[in-house]
Amino acid sequence: MKYLPLLLLCLSCSTSQKQNQDSYIFWDILEGYNPSWDKEQILTKLGKPQEIIKQSGEELWLYRSPKTHFQSWAIGVTTKNKISGLAYFPTSSGKSINISDVEERWKTQDCVHKKESKLIADSYQTTRTLNCDNGHKIIEYNKYNEVSGISVK
């Protein structure tokens, strides 16, 4: 009984370490992406995709969250096996990222907020984006400042 607190402490440390590893992989891919990457770099980091869609001579690799089975990554692969861009959807894996977290992390990348409203059917739809690195990184977020997707090209 006297070892129970020690056991709980060990379990809590290993859980947070796993979460930090997942967070590291996510940021590692988004921040380390380079247009010269080939498909081997993605296969090394994410493994084989769950689905491959061929369109216009290119492939779109889709990865799903093991917890929710919703799409978490989309990777564009050219005919020359180069990565043409990637997109990450944090809410699909149960993670929540606030736009202020991204702003703080990428504050040196010249980011600009954009808000656009369009009339669709009988209502207006507003999209909010944060464009960074001259439009190479686009972060979509909602009115609650929760990030719904990050695309890098």
Predicted TM-score of the model (pTM): 0.79
Q: For residue 85, which phi and psi values (nearest 5 degrees)?
A: 165, 165
- The answer to whether 123 and 96 are in contact (CB under 8 A) is no
- Average pLDDT for 26-54: 92
Bridge partners of residue 59, in order along the sequence: 54, 77
Q: Over 50: is that where the pLDDT of 20 sits?
A: no
**Residues 76/60, Cβ–Cβ less than 8 Å:** yes
Q: pLDDT grade, residue 92 (50/70/90)? A: low
Cα separation, 152 vs 83, whole angstroms:
10
Reported confidence tier of residue 13, pLDDT bands at 50, 70, 90: very low
pLDDT bracket for residue 25 (50, 70, 90): confident
